[in-house]
Every structure is written in C-alpha cells, then in structure tokens.
Amino acid sequence: MTLRAHREEDLDRIVEQCQDELAQRYVPLPSPYSLAMAQDFLNGYVRGGWDTRARTDFAVADDNDRYLGSVGLHSHNDDRYEVGFVFHPDARGRGLATIATHRLLEWAFDDLGAQVVLWRANASNEASTRIATKLGFELSTPLVGWFYRHGVYDDEAMGTLRRQRFVDNRDATKPSR
Ligand SMILES: CC(C)(COP(=O)(O)OP(=O)(O)OC[C@H]1O[C@@H](n2cnc3c(N)ncnc32)[C@H](O)[C@@H]1OP(=O)(O)O)[C@@H](O)C(=O)NCCC(=O)NCCS
C-alpha cells in the first residue's frame, strides 16, 4: 500500500466511493455525486489544500497503483490537525483504512510536528469509531445532535490523540501488516 498524490486516473473510483451509501451517510458529500464533483474535489479541495497546506490529503493505492481510498489532515493553523478517511467499498473490511490512517498519523507527529490530532464521526459510525479506538484516540462524550446530514441531527463522537500518547503506544497501535 502507498500513500501518494491523487491523480486523474483515480476519479472514476472516487465517484463510486462517494456515491456509496455509507460514504453518503457519514461524510459531507454532495448527493448525487458526479464526475464533475470528483474533478472539483481533485483540483480545488485536494490540490488547493496542498497549495495552502490548509488540508493535506493522500490517495491510498494498492501495489498496482489502484485507488483504494483517501486519508487526510485538516490543519487548524497551528500544531493541531483533524484526521479524515474514506475508502472505496471494495477496499473495506481488510484493515487497510487502519493501516493507512496509522501511516498518516506517523507523518503528522513525526514530520508535521503535530501536538494533537482530532477525530470526529457520526456516533453510529462503528467502523470509524473502531479505527479511532485502535489507533489510541481518547474518546470524549458524544455531542448530542451535532452531526448534521440530509436534515437529520445525529450525535457526534469525537476524540483526540496527543503526541506523547501516540509515541508511547506507537508499537502497540501499529497495525500488524
Ligand atoms: C470508515 C471506513 C474507512 C472503514 O473502512 P474499513 O475497511 O472497514 O476499515 P478497517 O478494516 O481498517 O477497520 C475497521 C474496523 O471496524 C470494524 N467494523 C467495521 N464495521 C463495523 C460495524 N458495523 N460494527 C462494529 N465494528 C465494525 C472492523 O471489524 C474493523 O475492526 P477490527 O480490525 O478490530 O476487526 C469505511 O467504512 C468507509 O469508507 N466508510 C464511509 C466513510 C466514513 O465513514 N468515513 C469516516 C468518517 S469519520
């Protein structure tokens, strides 16, 4: 698995990923999601984010360079960052999101100098919550009614991972493959 820059060749799979029901439920995406939206995501959100360093998003690709998903950090303009991840439906259920997010966290703490990373999700998002827990995030009480999508106000789970905790637990939380 590689974390690399997004490419035009990824767009069709990004559209499939963003049309997927789970992604639509848990990520603030336009609906329906079109190829033009994926192109805007690539040119504006991803490349624009790297230009300003406001957001640093990576494509996750397999050994054949096939797009598997995206992981990224949103800068809070200091040494705090927020993590996000979404995977193509056919790349889920194999631990790959956990591995990719762990690599992203290593980059955040080792190279960016992050002091703390925030994770947020719909409180019903069990896969995301499991990943955050496995990677050592300390979860706080969910914010009641704060996760808004499609006219519904769900509870929002959140947690943080501080640098020292990540360093102390680096080996224990490192995915085995
Ligand atoms: C979140 C997402 C990236 C996880 O992908 P994934 O391939 O399932 O992730 P992983 O395989 O690395 O790990 C998922 C973990 O959650 C567990 N899990 C998955 N679905 C679960 C469920 N419904 N209930 C309980 N646990 C669940 C898995 O068993 C695994 O834990 P384990 O390794 O201890 O067995 C993927 O579901 C996705 O893209 N969802 C839509 C977008 C999204 O929700 N993004 C996060 C927004 S905060």
Ligand 1 center to residue 51 CA distance, Å?
30
CA–CA gap between residue 52 and residue 109 (Å, rounded): 19
Q: Could you tell me the two tokens for 112?
A: 């960016």
Kindly give the number of the ligand 1 atom that is closest to the alpha carbon of 99.
Answer: 12
CATH number of the domain at 2-173, please? 3.40.630.30
Ligand 1 centroid to 145 CA: how many Å? 22
CA atoms within 13 A on the CB side of 40: 7
| Domain residue limits, the chain | 2-173
Q: Which residue, 88, 29, 30, 26, is CA-closest to 62?
A: 88
Give pLDDT, residue 177.
Answer: 65
Quickly tell me which residue has 């939380």 as its tokens.
Answer: 173
Ligand 1 atom 10 nearest Cα: 95
pTM of the model: 0.97
10-residue block means of pLDDT along the chain (177 residues)? 98 98 96 97 97 97 98 96 98 98 97 97 98 98 96 97 96 84
Alpha-helical segments (H) within 41-149: 47-52, 96-107, 126-134
End-to-end CA gap in the chain: 10
Separation of CA 98 and ligand 1 centre (Å): 8
Give the Cα separation of 19 and 14 in Å (integer).
9
Which of ligand 1's atoms lies nearest the C-alpha of 89? 39
> What residues flank ligand 1, with Cβ below 6 Å?
22-23, 26-27, 85-87, 92-98, 121, 125-128, 130-131
